[in-house]
Structure 1
Amino acid sequence: MNKPLRKASVFTLLLVLSLIVWATYVQMARGSELRDNQHNTRNAIARYANPLGDIVVDGKPITGSRATEGSLRYKRTYTDGKLYAPVTGYASQAYGSNQLEALERSVLDGSDSRLKNPLQAVTREPSEPGDVITTIDPAAQKAAFEGLGNKTGAAVAIDPETGRILALVSTPSYDPGSFAGSSTDDQKAWQALQKDKKQPMLNRALRQTYPPGSAFKLVVAAAALEDGLYGSVDERTESPDPYLLPGTVTKMRNENPSAPCKDATIRTALQYSCNTVFAKMAVDLGQKKVAAQAEKFGFDDSELDIPVRAAKSVYPSGMNDSQTGLTGIGQFDVTATPLQMAMVTSAIADGGKLMTPYLVDRTTDGGASALDRTEAKSYGRAMSEDTADQLRSAMRTVVDRGTGTNAKIPGTEVGGKTGTAQHGENNSGTPYAWFVSYADDGEGHKVAVAVVVEDSDAARADVSGGGLAGPIARAVMRATLA
């Protein structure tokens, strides 16, 4: 063999060897990465080649699948899509999936190894899809959705004894079925939702944080009782009215000038929502003690999964005394999701024990057999049983003859706390209206509820937690206990 031909042969052999090495590397080292890449159309074709399993509420599927004529043979469908979008999320041929549709994807599309029999494990034939059974109570979900109506806001209801999420609503909402396919109409629907300034695809119940306003006073009251700063909710506090914020010339006053807030007890201060009492209480406790109490309720937890990840609710640090005073009324940089505030009232309702909230009861093989089941799990003890008893008593006073009378349910024990939180620079925006509550029918049924109204048709002067959010919470509690 002459020299040029030998060089060409060696070069060609090296190219072949390089190709073999590269192909082996791609298959062995990057196979999973390329297979799972969101731009790999094979994944979408495989996922939508067969009907998906269902997400189920109270024994009835709220999702389905419909045959199409494209390469993606089946399209996801939704029953009452707007009502349940904060629960299901979406599964779109063109835009992927999120929330339960994404987190439980392997069960819903049949790729979960637990769904395969031994023969399918060898042949790699697709398995029948499984189902996802949620904890949602349809009556509570509907009551929250209809109560919020055209308002912008969210509502969460929890079973305090187990942590089961009974309602999870965010408004305005969207229909996940409107863009579940890959047609031009689906694309237009998606683009319209992305451009909508009201952000209907934002899950406000889990992913949006708000200043909790006066609803946060429950956390401060719990800290004061646990610390021993005050021995009971009926012990008089040392609270001037107005209250001069430390290190400033700013005097904090109360919304109701005639309210008996000077040196008021915790019960009276919650009843009339006295800012001066809780601002001074937070300063007297100090930010570390308030923060420690807030964390027991779930604040500053960045890994709260239900299984959908909730945004972190925050109690700030590094504050001076005047800023700490503002946090005592749920302002400054305190932020909370509606889920977080439902957790606060859940712990109070269940004697100080806080259960980890969860949305999925179990996944199944599409029949009666469970693949896994969520067990009720303790998040931790937020406060002593005595403190919880006292706070429930004070919250009942709020509903019986305070700012929360709109939440009364005849024949049922109801406790609550209103909240109106400043919004925008120098409070230029419409205030947020909160109502957090619990109800106990005396027959072993309890529910904890948090409602926030971000925006409504009400005039600014008419915005209040008791007026806007209270009736919604009442409807949810009645629906749940019924």
Structure 2
Amino acid sequence: MTIGPTGQRPGIRITARRAGTFCLLLVLLLAAQATRVQFFQAKGYNDNAANQRKAILRYGQPRGAILVGGQPITGSAATGGRYTYKRTYTDGPTYAAVTGFSSQIYGNTQLEGTEDALLSGTDDRLDGWAVWDAISRRQNPGGSVYTTIDAAAQQAAMSGLDGQKGAVAAIEPATGRILALASTPSYDPGSFAGSSSADQQVWTRLQSDGDQPMLNRALRETYPPGSTFKVVTAAAALTAGVVTDINAPTAAPYPYILPGTTTPLVNDTTSCNTAGLDLDTAMTLSCNSVLGYLGVQTGLDKMVAMAENFGFNNSKLDIPVRAARSNFDTTMDQSQLALSSIGQFDTAATPLVMAMVAAGVADNGTVMYPQLVDKLTKSDGSTVQLMRPRSYRQAMSPAVAGQVQQLMTDVVANGTGGRAAIPGATVGGKTGTAQHGVQNSAVPYAWFISWAKPAGSSDVPPVAVAVVIADSSATDVTGGSLAAPIAKSVMQAVLAP
């Protein structure tokens, strides 16, 4: 056998080289696998439902605050369990339609959902030094969400609704800032924020409640708007030139037979049963026959365009919470158009969109995009994002808006909206009582939309409101009797010095 110069056999040297090569290969394979897992597959593992690390980190620190008028309406409480902190709410039922909920089991909704990354501290905009934060996996403190809500207006809305099935949306017309967003019956989002069996029992009870307290009726439910939609029809007829003078007789016949049928469009008061009524009288008395006729004369395309100017048919109306799509059909025959022009047939709206209608009239025809958030900040108060007002549509000319404003003020001064009148203020409004159910057998929806400003002021009104009562045991179920007083209280809260 040959012995090498170093005294080692050649076979031993070859074996050692092979072993070294094999070990190097193993090291490279391990490095490649570690890189694959830690870099390419990291997100998948982090987001895996079975991975509790992310949830433990999320609830390992207090959640950022949601604020109203600069004051927190949310907080965090130590649990002593696996999840160190859970969400708490100050007067949770009052603001549930604004905040939504943040639950360790059931996730996040409303602002708690749309702004979750900022509130939980995972938003990249909160990073100080992004590279170091990524390497150290440091959890940033949660940021804060400053809402546009006016505390007094919100309290007035909730007090006025008083647990009835209904909703209120109030907007500052010049900016689109949402001043109140209320839905009743409500719920306490803090009652199931944790992960205990008691939290789960509360959740189960709320889910099975026939009154649907967790339904956000201000944003996520649509109702036939009834005669409140006549404001849209009046704006369309004036814009199209079908009506040029609100005090001049119209060509509206009586009775008005729905086109293509033998069915008359009936009125709720005999005072409307006259041919040729002027638009101002028709709005003040809420005459179906006149507004149905004017809608048909204006035509489908122009009626659709005006409705869409106010937010109808928009399936992506984000405030930043997404609102349900309000509907005005784009394909109808003339009899259906007549019914749609008085807020019936398939026409359906959220309270938010009907508040946009009132706000657009108040702001001289300009409809502003509604917004629920003023600004987002870091935990130290420095601004992450400042929300600025933005225009949604120019629904009508200022001249036409002035005419519609006059129609609405006459409704309050001389017509069905008298219970919304405020001493020392100019108030414009429109009532609505919408029939629904099989052969209109269900309790009607009572609506009122309005705006108000100090008497003699030439400024844009500071508040516009929409109120709907969806189910009432009252004997007089009308927008003027049920919804108008609630709108009045909200407007008074905003006008108060």
Identify the match of residue 208 of structure 2 among 192, 195, 208: 195
Q: CA RMSD in A?
A: 2.0
Considering only CA atoms, is the larger Rg found in Structure 1 or Structure 2? 2
> Kindly tell me: are residues 413 and 41 of structure 1, through their superposed partners in 2, closer, same or farther at Cα, counting changes over 3 Å?
same
Please give the alpha-carbon distance, in whole angstroms, between the structure 2 residues aligned to 1:69 and 1:22: 37
Matched, 1:363 2:376: yes
Residue aligning to 2:73: 62
Counterpart of 1:91? 102
Is the contact made by 2:192 and 2:202 (CA closer than 8 Å) also made in structure 1? yes
Q: Establish whether residue 41 from structure 1 lines up as the match of residue 57 from structure 2.
A: no
Matching residue within 126, 142, 150 for 1:115: 126
Q: Give the secondary structure class of the aligned counterpart of 2:485.
A: helix
> Which whole-Å deviations, capped at 9, do the CAs of 1:441-480 have from their partners, x for residues lacking one?
2274521100000012213xx1000100000000000001
Deviation at 1:404, TM superposition (A): 0.1
Moved more, 260-269 or 243-252: 260-269
3-state SS of paired residue (2:156): helix
Structure 2 counterpart of 1:80: 91
Q: Is 2:300 aligned against 1:284?
A: no
Q: Which amino acid aligns with 2:138?
A: E
* Preserved contact between residue 168 and residue 468 of structure 2 (Cα < 8 Å): yes
Structure 2 CA distance for partners of 1:457 and 1:283, relative to 1, 3 Å: same
Q: Which residue type is aligned with residue 76 of structure 1?
A: R
TM-aligned CA deviation for residue 339 of structure 1 = 0.3
Q: What is the number of residues matched between the two proteins?
A: 467
- Is 2:344 aligned against 1:328? no
Question: Contact conserved, 1:261 with 1:276, CA < 8 A, in 2?
Answer: no
Q: Which residue of 1 aligns with 2:7?
A: none
Paired amino acid for 1:408: A
8 Å CA contact 1:271–1:401 kept in 2: the answer is yes
Alignment of structure 1 residues 196-345 onto 2, 5 Å: 196-259=209-272, 261-345=274-358
User: Scaled by the length of structure 2, what TM-score is found?
Assistant: 0.90
Identity %: 53
Asked whether 1:454 is paired with 2:467, we answer no
- Between the aligned partners of 2:157 and 2:42, the Cα distance in structure 1 is 46
Moved more, 284-293 or 196-205: 284-293
3-state SS, counterpart of residue 272 of structure 2: coil
Pairing of 1:149-168 with structure 2 (within 5 A): 149-168=162-181
What is the match of residue 478 of structure 2?
464
* Matches of 2:292 and 2:38, distance apart in 1: 62
Summarize deviations over 1:378-434 as a string: whole Å, max 9, x none: 112010000100000110000001000000001101000000111212111100000
Does the 8 A contact of 1:261 with 1:274 survive in 2?
Answer: no
Q: Supply the AA of the counterpart residue of 1:245.
A: L
Which amino acid counterpart does residue 69 of structure 2 have in structure 1?
A: D
2:440 is aligned with 1:424: no
Match of 1:10 in 2: none
TM-fit CA distance, 1:179: 0.2
Q: What SS does the aligned partner of 1:258 have?
A: helix
Matched letter for residue 361 of structure 2:
I
5+ long unaligned stretches in structure 2? 1-25
Shift of 1:369: 1.3
2:9 maps to what in 1?
none
Q: Is the contact between residue 247 and residue 280 of structure 2 (CA under 8 Å) also seen in structure 1?
A: yes
**Deviations, residues 307-326 of structure 1 (Å, cap 9, x unaligned):** 00011111112211111111
Letter in 2 for 1:207: R
Write the deviation string for residues 201-257 of structure 1: whole angstroms up to 9, x where unpaired. Answer: 111100101111000011111110111111122222111222111111111111001
Question: What is the aligned partner in structure 1 of residue 5 from structure 2?
Answer: none
- 1:320-357 C-alpha deviation (Å, 9 max, x unpaired): 11111110110000111000000001010000011100
- Paired with 2:136 and 2:349, the residues of 1 have a C-alpha distance of 50
Which residue type is aligned with residue 69 of structure 1? G
Aligned position for 2:113: 102
Alignment of structure 1 residues 344-383 onto 2, 5 Å: 344-383=357-396
* Offset, 1:481: 1.1
